[in-house]
Amino acid sequence: MNDTALHSAPPATSHASAAAAAAGAAPVPCPTVDTLDHILPEEPLLMMGAGPVPIPDAVAKANTVVINHLGDTMARVIHQVKAMARYVFQTHSNWVLGVAGPGSAAMEMAVSNLAWPGTRVLSIVNGFFSARMAEMARRVGAEVTTLDVADRSIASLDDIAQAIERTRPAIVTIVHGETSNTVCNRQIREIVQLAKAAGALVVVDAVCTLSTMPLEMDAWGIDVVITGGQKGLSSIPGVSLIAFSNAAWERVRTRTAPNTHWCLDATLAENFWHNAGYHYTAPVSGVLALHEALRLVCTETLEKRFARHLRCSLALQSGVSALGLSLYTPQACRLNSVVGIELPAKLTAREVCNHISQQYQVEIAGSFGLPIVRIGQMGEQCREHHLFRTVHALGRTMCDLGAAVDLPAGVAALEESLSSSARRA
């Protein structure tokens, strides 16, 4: 190629940008935006929905720190996170990993490492989140059967035994607390026994329940437990935890079907979580936040934390009922970690949630089209002063929107429930 040829050929980029301009793709101007001070509410909202939940100061502070994601300091943090996670999961298993991602990423790590094309999976579906695990299993090519459970109820052990008998699954997925319609699968231990007897591994989604109510991974024989940060643990969203039993890890380790996920490949993640090696840049601040959230669980102890959650949730349920509102789920399968409340006639979840947020700075949640609002009782949400403010704000919201409730009775019932449980303790 000679000089003439070089000069006579215009640079390819100018061709490209001329073509782009002709097609209307003008340069992108720098936008003018508001500062966060203008966007965020002047008074922070009290986060009483179905997650994320308020975080303690120690968690918030840790979340501002950036350290090297490899090296001795991080190794010590990871070591402690795993040790504390084993306590929270109640497992001696070595295979405890963190996940850079939401609770759903931990769910996907469980499913995509244990299932592949042709794997028979039985998913017990109680609602929105348990259906998500079935969908994830379908996407990796598994042969998925769902046991679809009617809203506001849980499957009987007979139904589950029959479904296992019929489908002979390698993997059973189930949710501990189905946050969407506020039902709780209370018989996890028995369900695991049925599945194990048929040779299946059991994956339990404990995103909303872990550290709010008893769940014993080893004693109940669970193979994989997953959780998120922003619910029971009162950490930030986006950094999650997962634990595999030895049997589950063996299946992961010896699989021959290639794993289509790279970030969620548990054997690659193990290199970071057990060998201080590089997988991807760990979300260091989030891991530090999780460390603090777990440390606070350890300081409180699980026993006391479960008692606090139960006491607060029952008091909230009592206060809401005394307002004159109905709880959505029958007591036999009611989840305590998130309380579902039926809406009075003519009110929509959106109206109620907007009003309570704008007028009383309390954030609660609707639920994927169900005629309910939900109030969380996870981690820092279970504090007496938050309960009084929430029941009051809910009662006032109902009055403002024209629904008849007995606000003094609601607040009194809350107080009565809290003080009588304090007397019993």
- The encoded tokens of residue 189 equal 């231990």
**Which stretch in 54-62, 69-77, 98-106, 250-258 sits in contact with ligand PLP by CB under 6 A?**
98-106
Nearer to ligand PLP by Cβ, of 231 and 311: the residue is 231
Q: In this complex, which beta carbon is closest to ligand PLP, that of residue 231 or of residue 392?
A: 231
Selected from 98, 125, 205, 352, the binder of ligand PLP by CB under 6 A is 205
Strands 362-363 and 46-47: parallel
Encode burial over 39-53: b for 16+ CB neighbours within 10 A, e otherwise: eeeeeebbbbbbbbb
- Buried/exposed 352-366: b ≥16 CB within 10 Å, e otherwise: bbebbbeebebbbbb
State yes or no: residue 129 binds ligand PLP (CB under 6 A): yes
Measured between its terminal Cα atoms, the distance across the chain in Å is 90
Identity of the residue, 235 or 318, whose beta carbon is nearer to ligand PLP in the bound complex? 235
Which one of 9-17, 102-110, 348-356, 379-387 is the stretch in contact with ligand PLP (CB under 6 A)? 102-110
Task: Please tell me whether residue 204 binds ligand PLP under the rule CB under 6 A.
Answer: no
Interaction residues for ligand PLP, span 156-175 (CB under 6 A): 175
Residue nearest ligand PLP, Cβ-based: 103
Q: Which residues of 97-123 are buried (b: 16+ CB within 10 A; e: fewer)?
A: bbbbbbbbbbbbbbbbbbbbeebbbbb
Q: With binding defined as CB under 6 A, does residue 119 bind ligand PLP?
A: no
Question: Pick from 49, 102, 169, 319: which binds ligand PLP (CB under 6 A)?
Answer: 102
DSSP 274-305: HH---SS---HHHHHHHHHHHHHHHHH-HHHH
When asked if residue 341 is in the footprint of ligand PLP (CB under 6 A), the reply is no
Cβ nearer to ligand PLP, comparing 179 with 336: 179
Does position 208 bind ligand PLP by CB under 6 A? yes
Q: Are strands 372-376 and 177-178 parallel, antiparallel or unpaired?
A: unpaired
Does position 210 interact with ligand PLP (CB under 6 A)? The reply is no
| HSE value, Cβ hemisphere, 13 Å, CA-based, for 412 | 7
Whether a cis peptide bond, with omega within 30° of 0, leads into 237 is no
228 in helix, strand or coil? coil
Question: What x-and-dash track marks residues 220-259 binding ligand PLP by CB under 6 A?
Answer: --------x--x-----x----------------------
Query: What are the structure tokens assigned to 147, written together?
Result: 């046991």
Helices (H), 56-127: 57-62, 72-89, 103-114
Q: Which stretch binds ligand PLP (CB under 6 A): 96-104, 276-284, 366-374, 412-420?
A: 96-104
Interface positions, 47-66, toward ligand PLP (CB under 6 A):
51
Enumerate the β-bridge partners of residue 95. 244
Q: Pick from 113, 123, 145, 179: which binds ligand PLP (CB under 6 A)?
A: 179
Among candidates 106, 88, 114, which has minimal Cα distance to 227? 106
> Between residue 300 and residue 329, which ones bind ligand PLP under the rule CB under 6 A?
none
User: What's the closest the beta carbon of residue 264 comes to ligand PLP, in angstroms?
Assistant: 13
Q: How far is the CB of 241 from ligand PLP (least distance, A)?
A: 11
Binding site residue list = 374
Which residues here bind ligand PLP, judged by CB under 6 A? 51, 102-104, 129, 175, 177, 179, 205, 207-208, 228, 231, 237
